[in-house]
Amino acid sequence: VSVPVDANMFIPGSGEMSDLTRWKNWSETPLGPASQWPQSLVTALGVALSSKFPMLLLWGPELICFYNDAFKPSLGQDGKHPSILGLPLEKSWAALWHIIKPLYDQILSGEESTCQEDQLVPIFRNGMIEEAYWTFSHSAVYDESRKIAGILLTCSETTGKKIMARELEESNQLFKPAPGFRADGSFEGNIGSSGDFNQQVDSLKKAEASEQELKSIVLESPVGICIIDAFTLLCELVNQRFVAVAGKPFEAIIGHSYLDTFAEARPYHEKALAGVIKNGLPFYADEMELMLFRQGKEENIIVTFVYAPLKDIEARVRKVAIWVIENTTQEKARQDIRDSDERLRELNERLVIATEGTHMGIWDLDIATKTLVHSPRFAQIFGYPETTKLTTRSQMRAHVHPEDLQEIVENAFAEALQTGIYFYEARIFHLDKSLRWIRIRGKILFDENNIPERMLGTIIDITEARHAEQMRGRIAAIVESSDDAIISKTFEGIVTSWNKAAERIFGYAPEEMIGQSITKLIPQDRLEEEPRIIEGLKQGRRFDHFETKRITKDKKILDISLTISPVRDSSGKLIGAAKIARDITEQKKIEKLVKANEEKFRLLADSMPQFVWTGDHQGNLNYFNKTVYDYSGLTAAQVQAGAWIQIVHPEDRQENIKRWQHAVATGEDFLFEHRFQRHDGVYRWQLSRAVAQRDDKGQIQMWVGTSTDIDDIKRQEQQKDDFIRMASHELKTPVTTIKGYIQLLVSMQKEQQQTLQSAALFKVDKQVNKLTKLINDLLDLTRIETGGLQLEQRRYPISEVIHEVISDIGLVAGSHRIDLLLSDDPMVFVDKDRIEQVFVNLITNAIKYSPKADQVILKVYGQDDQVVIAITDFGIGISAGDEEKIFERFYRVEGKDEKTYPGFGIGLFIVREILELHGGKVWVSSQLNRGSTFYVSLPVSKNKSQ
Ligand code: ADP
């Protein structure tokens, strides 16, 4: 059933209930169509629907229900709303009718308006019947004929308060107080719970009466009163005055912990309260100033208050009564302040709005008190959230960089006091320790006596600007000090900046170039380059190390490497180009030279019959001359890929790698004989040698190596060795035979006293002996080389060996005296013949190479587990360079006296080989023309077996 909208448009309001009322089809109700309602109903309905207080309007003898939006919650979530709209009260509250009816009859009969506080009117809501308390005020509504036509019910639910009060009452039963105030304001309950029954009933009555009395005293008192439980500190009772002083809603106090409710004032009262509860003595505070959040705002108030303990019969403190009077009497003054605050705030807000876009903070400093008022941005600039208030100047100054505080801030302030104008830029630290720059501007306001009163000003964070400035400065410095020409130009090719290096390289001073076309620098034949570059730049392209030629003021052509990048303005628009020009003329020259040198080296290396190769500092081979490729038949790629080792004979590879790694690791020269495979598969011996190339600091830069074909030499050597072996072998038999016959002849001659022949035979014998020694040496040599030298070792005292040698040689060497100094005589485990051969060789050499001397000294001494025999002569000596070489086979020191000393250079070689077979050593220390000492060391034999 619909009703024309405009029909009920007179019903006021915009809420849900106004709508529902307008849209309801009233013709179905006893009230009839809305258009025909009496004016009184329309007026009353208007009042109800536009009220913010919960209201219920009952109209006509049937008490038809109307209600407003504020009333809805009282009907519960799924209760009577909206069904009771337009229903008679009897139907809508059928269950309660018996309670309500008399009330309404009373009103309808014309009695005064009534007010009922905390009436229990259970209602059905939230799916159940709930206990609810209400404070009602009913007033009759009269119609045009001055008869009561309806009832307007204003109500508020007091369920919470009622339940609280009831609980308080219940708990009060515990200690049935008979309270009395003492002169000091403390409150004492002296309760009899013992004694006879009558007395108890009596005191119970009395207690009830005084409880009631207490409540009325409390609730009506002009003094703020609050009763809290001594154990829980929950606030149990509180009067209107206390609520006013507290400046917090009643609900925020009652039933809550006193400490939590006044958390902001804890420092003032927590201890005092605890003391009262503990000691049972009242606490007074006279005109104490404290801060409370009243109506959500920080307020400093002055109060006088008493904490009075309420004790039970056992004198335990059960409750604490708090009495409070506010002394902040300058209510008017405060209002004034609030008003002016308000004005200031408005002004401030306007300023804030005006400045917010500029990221500027605003501040207002009271010069006398140094207190500060500021906009939210101000706090942000110091790194706080914008809600933070810095209330004093010192709070702000605590952030200023210590170095800037005196120098900049204080000075600026002192100056401001003189000039009235405050200005500075200084560094501050944020809470997170980050460094920022601020700029402060301010103006002093003077009072009528010309005394500085306030200072108003702005603050702005200039960190970014500072950084940008510093960056610009740095960049400018870099540009100026650069070795490369740095030039900027427009897209039209007009030079806009020109640094020192540009002047140096091209010869033009800035004033000769800035504003001029860049083409001044471009040689005729390259002029077409410029448009091409500009085209690229306009597309945002960058040119990196573009090599070209440019011309200087004195017409010199330079090789130039250009790096050109497009330049954009802060909005990203291309506006020109920055150009870095490097003079590479010199570099080009060097490059050419290097190339030429490299070419030369390559030609040289390639034309050599030897292999030439190089390796990096880690020993990786990276270059081979052409000879290597020609020889091996491998391609450059194959050899360089590491395949070079494939050329080396498989039997030599392992040792080759080992030696190469050793050389690379130690930096020692690499020297190795190995076989390389030729392209036809034949292996040939090569002698390779590589030397590390070092830089100034001795660091290895690279390795340079060569390999020389020694295959033919090797073969010849082999042939020679073979020949010697064969010849000495073949010679031995005939010489031995000759020797036998000579000895036979000598003995025969001796018998026949034929001195002439005997002298001749003696000479022949001597020559044959020499020949025999030579053959024996050669045989030894070949034995050593083929590994055929066998030892027959036994234990002897060293002296036995040496004595034998000396007596043998002494016979032949009449020219020299042989002195023996024996300081030790250990056992040695040796092949006696061979060791004798060693000493014979050394002593004969000592004699042979000291023709002008007449003495050879032998010293024998122990050293660690060795015995050392030193043979010293006073002869020609050996130069340092030859000391090692003389032990090589066939090595003889070359000199002008060469012919004087016959020999083959085999003796010392054999000496060394024999000693090495014995685990011994030989070395020499000598001075040219002074003499030599040859040292022999042999291991001392400790037991029979060795
Ligand atoms: P040689 O048969 O030439 O003596 P060795 O092998 O015994 O051969 O010696 C090699 C070379 O060492 C000699 O040619 C000589 O130059 C040098 N030499 C050996 N002993 C001495 C010494 N006591 N004083 C100086 N030079 C010596």
How far is ligand 1, taken at its centre, from the CA of residue 880, in Å? 14
pLDDT at 693 (0 to 100)? 92
Q: Whose CA is nearest to atom 23 of ligand 1?
A: 846
Pairing state between β 855-863 and 817-822: parallel
DSSP state of 642: I
Per-residue model confidence (pLDDT) at position 226: 84
pLDDT of amino acid 313: 62
Contact 440, 411 (CB under 8 A): no
Of ligand 1's listed atoms, the one at least distance from the Cα of 850 is 24
45/239 Cα distance (integer angstroms):
35
Which one-letter amino acid corresponds to residue 553?
Answer: K
Ligand 1, residue 887: give the atom nearest the CA. 6
3-state SS class at 301:
strand
Location of structure tokens 């209510």: 331
Q: Residue 444 and residue 419: Cα distance in Å, rounded?
A: 9
| Residue 821: partners with Cβ closer than 8 Å, 6 or more residues away | 857, 858, 859, 860
Q: What are phi and psi of 918, to 5 degrees?
A: -90, 0
Provide the residue type at 792 as one letter.
E
The runs of H, that is alpha helices, within 152-196 are 159-172
How far is Cα 901 from Cα 879, in angstroms, rounded to an integer?
16
Atom of ligand 1 nearest to the CA of 876: 25
Ligand 1 centroid vs 914 CA: distance in angstroms? 17
The protein residue whose alpha carbon is closest to atom 19 in ligand 1 is 845
The pair of three-digit structure tokens given for residue 869, joined into one six-digit string: 């025999």
Q: Is the omega angle on the peptide bond into residue 510 within 30 degrees of 0, that is, cis?
A: no
886 C-alpha to ligand 1 centroid (Å): 7
Distances (CA, A) of 759 to 752, 753, 754, 813: 13, 11, 9, 18
Taking the CA atoms of residue 267, residue 269, residue 274 and residue 276 in that order, the dihedral angle to the nearest 10 degrees is 150
Identify the pLDDT of residue 92.
Answer: 79
From 813, 810, 828, select the one nearest 914 (Cα to Cα).
Answer: 828
Residue 629 near residue 635 (C-beta atoms within 8 A):
yes
Nearest CA, atom 7, ligand 1: 907
Helix and strand element counts for the chain (H, E): 29, 36
Q: What is the pLDDT of residue 523?
A: 92
| 35, amino acid identity | S
Report how far residue 314's alpha carbon sits from residue 304's, in angstroms, rounded to the nearest whole number.
30
Query: Which atom of ligand 1 is closest in space to residue 873's alpha carbon?
Result: 23
Q: Which ligand 1 atom is nearest residue 910's CA?
A: 6
Contacts for 509-512 with beta carbons within 8 Å, 24 or more apart? 512/553
Token pair 């403190």 in the structure block, residue: 317
845 Cα to the center of ligand 1, angstroms:
6
The length of the chain in residues reads 946
Per-residue DSSP letter, 804: H
Residues contacting 459, CB < 8 A, separation 6+? 360, 361, 362, 363, 377, 378, 381, 438, 439, 440
DSSP string, 381-411: HTTS-TT----BHHHHHTTB-HHHIIIIIIH
**87 vs 25: CA distance, rounded Å:** 12
- 15, with CB counted inside 10 A (0-12, 13-18, 19+), is middle
* pLDDT at residue 452, rounded to an integer: 85
Residue 876 DSSP class: S
> CA torsion angle for 677, 681, 685, 687 (degrees, to 10)?
-20
User: In this structure, how many other beta carbons lie within 10 angstroms of the beta carbon of residue 845?
Assistant: 22
The letter for the amino acid at 45 is L
Residues near 795 by beta carbon (within 8 Å), at least 6 away in sequence: 827, 828, 829, 941, 944
User: Which structure tokens are listed for 834?
Assistant: 């061979």
Q: Report how far ligand 1's centroid is from the alpha carbon of 819 (Å).
A: 21
Bridge partners, residue 932, by sequence: 926
DSSP category for residue 648: B
HSE toward the beta carbon, residue 825, CA cutoff 13 A: 10
Distance from Cα 572 to the centre of ligand 1, integer Å: 90
CA end-to-end distance (rounded Å), the chain: 136
Burial of 408 (0-12, 13-18, 19+ CB in 10 A): middle
Contact 59, 152 (CB under 8 A): no
**Are 551 and 521 spatial neighbours (Cβ–Cβ below 8 Å)?**
yes
Cα(877) to ligand 1 centroid in Å equals 10
Instruction: List C-alpha distances in Å: 349 to 117, 143, 345, 382, 696.
Output: 45, 52, 6, 20, 74
Q: What is the mean pLDDT of each run of 10 residues along the chain (946 residues)?
A: 54 80 86 84 79 80 87 70 85 74 74 64 62 72 80 72 57 39 38 38 48 52 76 84 86 89 84 87 79 86 80 75 70 54 62 63 86 86 87 88 90 89 92 89 83 86 85 82 88 89 92 91 89 86 88 92 84 82 87 88 87 90 90 84 84 93 93 93 94 91 93 88 83 85 82 74 83 86 83 93 88 80 93 93 92 93 94 93 88 66 84 94 94 96 71
Neighbours of 258 (CB within 10 A): 23
Q: Look at ligand 1, atom 10, and give the residue with the nearest C-alpha.
A: 905
Q: What does residue 127 show for φ and ψ, rounded to 5 degrees?
A: 80, 10
Q: Which of 496, 462, 500 is nearest to 478 (CA)?
A: 500
Residue 425's DSSP bridge partners are: 439
**φ and ψ of 707, to 5 deg:** -130, 130
| The three-state (H, E, C) secondary structure of 686-714, written as one string | EEEEEEEEECCCCCEEEEEEEEEECHHHH
- 3-state secondary structure at position 131: coil
Calpha distance 205→199 (Å, rounded): 10
Q: Which residue carries 């799924």 as its tokens? A: 78
Which residue ranges have their beta carbon within 6 Å of ligand 1? 845-846, 849, 873, 875-878, 886, 891-893, 903-909, 932
- Which residue, judged by its Cα, is nearest atom 12 of ligand 1? 886
The preferred substitution site among 777, 849, 858 for testing ligand 1, maximizing ligand atoms within 8 Å of CB, is 849
* Predicted local distance difference test score (pLDDT) of residue 93: 75
Q: How far is the CA of 831 from the centre of ligand 1 (A)?
A: 24
Tell me the C-alpha distance between 638 and 646, whole Å. 10
Select from 770, 852, 878 the residue to mutate for testing ligand 1; criterion: most ligand atoms less than 8 Å from CB: 878
pLDDT at 602: 86
Ligand 1, atom 14, lies closest to the CA of 892
Long-range contacts of 714-717 (CB under 8 A, 24+ apart): 714/685
Q: How far is the CA of 908 from the centre of ligand 1 (A)?
A: 7
Q: What is the 774 CA–ligand 1 centroid distance (Å)? A: 15
CB–CB of 276/317 below 8 Å? Answer: yes
